[in-house]
Amino acid sequence: MKRKILIHCGTGGVGKTTVSAARGLLSALRGDRAVVVTLDPAKRLATSLGLEGLGDHPTDLTPHLKVALQKLRSQGFDVPETVPGSLHALMPDTRRTFEQLVVDLGFSAEGAEKLIKNPIFEIFAREFSGTNEYMAVQRLHRLNRDPQFDRIILDTPPSRNTLDFLNAPKLLTRFYEEKALQWLLAPSSRLAAFGMHKALDALEKLTGGGFMTHLVGFVASLFEVQENFSKNLREVTALLEGSSTGFIMVASPAPEHVLEVSHFAEGITRRGYHFDGLILNRSLAHLGPLTGIPADPAWDEARRILEGLQAREKRGLEALVHGAGIPDPILLPELARDVHSVEDLVHVAMALDRSPLGH
């Protein structure tokens, strides 16, 4: 079935942003009203797409796409003539999404101010490892209700663990389920109160005065909006688990990614999400034998590097398809230079189109 939302996951450095942008472009060429949500693209990619300095608001790239198609046709490339759909892109502003969320959660003006001024909140908003992920999901949630779009392509923030993205809402849910935090506000039994008292004594010894006051204030603030927060978490989780959302992994075809890829595919499926396939980017398999090169040591070394990489890719692919049991990955050829125009992105989209899973 066709998904409305496609989420691209993967570790950094595999070209996830380029793949997501190309996927959005391909959708527009097939008649979708597509929006690409991209985080932190390369400066040149952003500049060439007209995204530089742009924030939270979707920008219409359809006119740029039309011009690019014209240009490519005049250079003799075989590309579609028209854009039956439309293409928008945006870069979510985490801070702004956060502030919007605070309003949506129904904090009183006074309560919101108290929360934002709490030094623990300050650290939380900046350093909580799930903040970016969680805010991207919030932005997705809002876009999903925007009738302007019928296809949303999300490029997730780079993370060490590709499943972090899905864990972010769960981590926050855990916060409310954590009895210890509720005891902090009002211990439910004398024994608990005694243990808590002792532990807090020790904690206060380590941290000095003041910390406990801030902590209690912070926890109290979050419990003030528990009902709305839980509702939001349920909605977001339902959105990610629903059949209109698919997850795609972007990786490079190297043996060291095999474990990560199978871990991701298995983790996604086990949690009840929909795994929609694997894109192996930066493949060198399409390059033929190296011929017609000058005879010198530098080129000899370059040959050893290329052949070594190709041999490694072959082993990686075998391990993925046979070992990890992931059939029909899309192979995208490695680019010989950075993407710096919409035309370049059309080239990538066409390569994506030629592959079996490109629908």
Partner 1 sequence: MTGAANCKAIPQDFMTSNDLKSLLNRRLLFVIGKGGVGKTAITESISRSLPGRVLWVSIEDPTRPPQDMKQLGANLWSLNASAGPSFAEYAELKIGARLLLHFFLQNRLVQYLATAAPGIRELVLLGKIWFERQNYDHVVIDMPSTGHGVAMFRSTRNFGNLFGSGPVHSDTEAMNSVFRDPAQTGIVIVSLPEEMPLQESLELKDLLSDLFPKNEAALICNRRLPELREPPASSQSRDAKTVGAASAEGATSPESAESALSPFALDSADYLWRKSRLEKENLARLWDSRGLRYASLPFVAPEVGREHTHLVETLAARLQALREETAS
Question: Using CB under 8 A, which residues numbered 316 to 335 contact partner 1?
Answer: 333-335
Q: Which of residues 103, 272, 306, 328 is near partner 1 by CB under 8 A?
A: 306
Contact call for residue 70 and partner 1 (CB under 8 A): no
Among 47, 183, 220, 355, binds partner 1 (CB under 8 A): 183
352 binds partner 1 (CB under 8 A): no
Q: How many CA atoms, within 13 angstroms, populate the side-chain half-sphere of residue 81? A: 0
What's the DSSP call for residue 275? E
What type of residue sits at position 305?
A: I
Query: Tokens at residue 215, please?
Result: 């902590």
Out of 53, 147, 243, 288, point to the residue binding partner 1 (CB under 8 A). Answer: 288
Single out the segment in contact with partner 1 by CB under 8 A; choices: 8-16, 23-31, 58-66, 86-94: 8-16
In the list 180, 193, 238, 285, the residue contacting partner 1 (rule: CB under 8 A) is 180
How is residue 129 written in tokens?
């490892």
The token duo for 99 is 């502030």
341 part of the interface to partner 1, by CB under 8 A? yes
Smallest gap from Cβ 12 to partner 1, in A, equals 4
Q: Are 278 and 251 in contact (CB under 8 A)?
A: yes
Task: Candidates 39-47, 137-145, 234-242, 273-281: pick the segment binding partner 1 (CB under 8 A).
Answer: 39-47
Residue from 34, 233, 339, 352 binding partner 1 (CB under 8 A): 339
Nearer to partner 1, 238 or 259 (CB): 259
CB 30 within 8 Å of CB 264: no
| Span interacting with partner 1, options 42-50, 51-59, 142-150, 236-244, rule CB under 8 A | 42-50
Site for partner 1 in 215-274 (CB under 8 A): none
* Residue 29 contacts partner 1 per CB under 8 A: no
359 binds partner 1 per the rule CB under 8 A: no
Residue carrying structure tokens 């969320």: 101
Site for partner 1 in 112-151 (CB under 8 A): 119-120, 123-124, 126-129
Residue 246 β-bridge partners: 6
Q: Among 78, 81, 110, 296, which residue sits at the site for partner 1 (rule: CB under 8 A)?
A: 296
**What residue type is 175 in one-letter code?**
F
Contacts of 52 (CB under 8 A, 6+ apart): 43, 46
Contact (Cβ atoms closer than 8 angstroms) between residue 187 and residue 193 = yes
Structure tokens at 353: 């189109």
Instruction: Among 1, 53, 191, 208, indicate the residue that binds partner 1 (CB under 8 A).
Output: 208
Cα separation of the two ends of the chain? 10
Burial class of residue 82 in the structure, from the number of CB atoms within 10 Å of its CB (0-12 exposed, 13-18 middle, 19+ buried): exposed
16: contact with partner 1 by CB under 8 A = no
- Position 191 contacts partner 1 (CB under 8 A): no
Residues 6 or more apart from 322 whose CB is under 8 A from it?
none
Site for partner 1 contains 202 (CB under 8 A): yes
